[in-house]
Amino acid sequence: MNEAYVRLLCPECKKEWESTPSGLPAHDTVFHCPNCHNSRRLAEFARTDRDLETMKSLGA
């Protein structure tokens, strides 16, 4: 079985990356961009609504 992934985009520096939902904190947790260290709710890093829904449904 393949594990789902979500696409993330920093709203500040525009860095893009992918992660598994299980490797991320809850969508409403403050998250820090690994590139510029901008701090926002993780939900704000989701590239699309679908990525956000995947985070919410499959996240820890």
Across the 60 residues of the chain, what is the mean pLDDT of every consecutive 10-residue run? 86 96 93 97 97 86
C-alpha distance across the termini of the chain, in Å = 18
pLDDT of residue 37: 96
Show me where the domains of the chain are located. 6-58
Instruction: Determine contact, residues 39/32, Cβ cutoff 8 Å.
Output: yes
Tokens matching residue 4 = 């789902």
What pLDDT shows up at residue 58? Answer: 85
Contact 8, 17 (CB under 8 A): yes
Q: Which pLDDT score, from 0 to 100, does residue 1 have?
A: 52
